[in-house]
Chain A
Amino acid sequence: MNTSHAPMLDVQDLRIAFRTGEGLVEAVRGVSFQLGREKLAIVGESGSGKSTVGRSLLRLHPRSALISATKMRFGELDLLACSEREMQTVRGRRMSMIMQDPKYSLNPVMRVGDQIAEAYLTHHRVPKKEALDKALAMLETVRIRDPQRVMRMYPHEVSGGMGQRIMIAMMLITDPEVVIADEPTSALDVSVRLQVLATLDDLVSQRGLGLIFISHDLNLVRHFCDRVLVMYAGRVVESIAACDLEQAQHPYTRGLLAALPSVDERRERLPVLQRDPAWLAA
């Protein structure tokens, strides 16, 4: 396996602004990172721009978004220069996205099996039967019990954890190189979350994928991912190996870590994040 020598994704100085009634709003201001065959976390509060970065990689933004970067390469492709037609061969085929809430992201009036097969049929000209077999195999891969039965179910008939695994199956059926997971487990219970994370973990290591894991849960990211980008107000304030998070330097990262209530340490008061205006410029 070729490792991180040639990064799969190389993003330099990514800027995203939205045109609004009151002028331009800058959501992402100069983000740079590279992704190899690893699990990269992007963490930050709501509004820090972490999801915006994820969506821009697939160019999912509305026309009101202005995206610029000095470099935005995915393998041999320049994502910024790609035509819409070229993007269609990337989206869902070579790079796919797992959304936060399966309740809203799965088609409610389509059977689970048909939805997963559709993802495959969009990119491969094969008989429907073959796509359905592939979908069934994929449901087994994400460890759904009795996949034959689940294939015929509608999304409202499955639990949250199952729905999330169905979405993972749908996103991985085309064998993508990069998967972007936007808060894939925040709607799930702890034990279900463990199952879903383990599924992702196994698939990433078996298939040698690059995973971008967008989350606000520092505790989770610390143990699940290899590297962490911490975002604040549209910038990356710190990039650190997940195992070194304890030694994070930036006061924002330290503040986020300190604000977490812990089962192992009781404190009278939780330290509240003191925001420094200098972070906006740094």
Chain B
Amino acid sequence: MAMIEVEGLNLSFGEGAEATQVLHDVCFQVGDGEAFGLVGESGSGKTTVLRCLAGQYNHWRGRLSIHGEGLGRKLDHARCRKVQMVFQDPYGSLHPRHTVETALAEPLAIHGMDRRSERIDSILGKVGLPANFRYRYPHQLSGGQRQRVAIARALILEPRILLLDEPTSALDVSVQAEILNLLADLRVRDGLTYLLVTHDLGVVAHLCDRVAVMQQGRIVDLLETSAIVGSQPAHPYTRMLVEASRHYSRDMANPPVAA
């Protein structure tokens, strides 16, 4: 059974004649335990899809379902237990005056979960941070460590699905490799389902099984990542994205300048 189903998702902002439609009939399915990538440029609507699934927008039209259950407009506790999100900027997404422990304990308190201290210890171990990090503030952590805390905060409710919004774009390549390895390990160990939004095709090719390419609020291409690796995708826009992530060459920029 599909873990995430998105059918005919439409979203507009504004009223009447002023309305701008940002998502046009977006459809895709993500299987249980699958890692699915959404790629596209800024403004293509990829993050917006993620935000609809996370319950940050509630005026969408269409059908969203998680694990066979249709999603309502309101965010309820049960849904938060199943779906959690990791944000792009580890510098902006952690409260600067909350310790790691406070940040991790909050979701546990909201959901009335027991054995809080024990859970915090175990989740820190899982994301590869020493147990004494629970007493630290975000400014005492590096970017990669902060992103590990953000992943720990998302995982502490033991969700089935992680929505990842450019989880490594704020990090150095060397740190990015560590976080990508961690995400790959966690998925294998806990059987998680990932929906990853990124503009970096290298990251998608590394982590995901399938990928949807978005442009101006529409999915223009949907393919297996194996079709990208070492080959030329058929769709021209996908091909441009792949080529651009392979290398830079003067000829790729259009229109050519009149010399």
Interface, chain A (partner B; CB < 8 A) = 45-46, 143, 160, 189-195, 197-198, 201-202, 216, 218-220, 222-224, 255-256, 259-273
Besides A194-B252, A265-B229, 5 more A-B contacts (Cβ < 8 Å) are A46-B143, A191-B240, A201-B250, A216-B173, A263-B245
Contact A266–B229 (Cβ < 8 Å): yes
Interface: B186 (CB within 8 A): no
Residues of A within 8 Å of B225, CB to CB, are 266
Contact B202–A263 (Cβ < 8 Å): yes
Residues of A within 8 Å of B201, CB to CB, are 263
Contact residue among A45, A189, A216, A267 (Cβ-Cβ distance under 8 Å from B206): A267
Interface SS of chain B: helix, strand, loop or mixed? helix
Q: How far is the CA of A189 from the CA of B178 in the complex (A)?
A: 24
Interface, chain B (partner A; CB < 8 A) = 41-42, 143, 172-178, 180-181, 184, 199-203, 205-207, 225-226, 228-230, 240-242, 244-250, 252-253, 257
Contact residue among A218, A264, A272 (Cβ-Cβ distance under 8 Å from B178): A272
Q: How far is the CA of A219 from the CA of B174 in the complex (A)?
A: 14
Give the distance to chain A from B194, nearest Cβ to Cβ, in Å.
15
Closest-by-CB residue of B relative to A45 is: B172
Closest-by-CB residue of A relative to B201 is: A263
Contact residue among A45, A160, A191 (Cβ-Cβ distance under 8 Å from B174): A45
Contact A273–B244 (Cβ < 8 Å): no
Q: How far is the CA of A224 from the CA of B175 in the complex (A)?
A: 24
Question: Knowing A195-B253, A216-B172, A266-B229 touch, does A222 contact B181 (C-beta < 8 A)?
Answer: no
Q: How far is the CA of A195 from the CA of B246 in the complex (A)?
A: 16
Contact A197–B253 (Cβ < 8 Å): yes
Closest-by-CB residue of B relative to A161 is: B42
Question: Knowing A216-B173, A264-B230 touch, does A194 contact B244 (C-beta < 8 A)?
Answer: yes
Contact residue among B176, B230, B240 (Cβ-Cβ distance under 8 Å from A259): B176
Question: Knowing A262-B205, A263-B242, A264-B230 touch, does A194 contact B181 (C-beta < 8 A)?
Answer: no
Q: How far is the CA of A263 from the CA of B252 in the complex (A)?
A: 18
Contact A255–B174 (Cβ < 8 Å): yes
Contact residue among A193, A266, A272 (Cβ-Cβ distance under 8 Å from B205): A266
Q: How far is the CA of A189 from the CA of B174 in the complex (A)?
A: 21
Contact residue among B176, B181, B202, B252 (Cβ-Cβ distance under 8 Å from A262): B202
Contact B244–A261 (Cβ < 8 Å): no
Give the distance to chain B from A228, nearest Cβ to Cβ, in Å.
14
Give the distance to chain A from B176, nearest Cβ to Cβ, in Å.
7
Contact A220–B248 (Cβ < 8 Å): yes
Residues of B within 8 Å of A143, CB to CB, are 257
Give the distance to chain B from A270, nearest Cβ to Cβ, in Å.
4
Contact residue among A192, A260, A265 (Cβ-Cβ distance under 8 Å from B230): A265
Give the distance to chain A from B197, nearest Cβ to Cβ, in Å.
14
Residues of A within 8 Å of B143, CB to CB, are 46
Contact A223–B229 (Cβ < 8 Å): no
Residues of B within 8 Å of A202, CB to CB, are 250, 257
Q: How far is the CA of A273 from the CA of B241 in the complex (A)?
A: 27
Contact B246–A189 (Cβ < 8 Å): no
Q: How far is the CA of A182 from the CA of B4 in the complex (A)?
A: 41
Q: How far is the CA of A273 from the CA of B228 in the complex (A)?
A: 26
Give the distance to chain B from A45, nearest Cβ to Cβ, in Å.
4
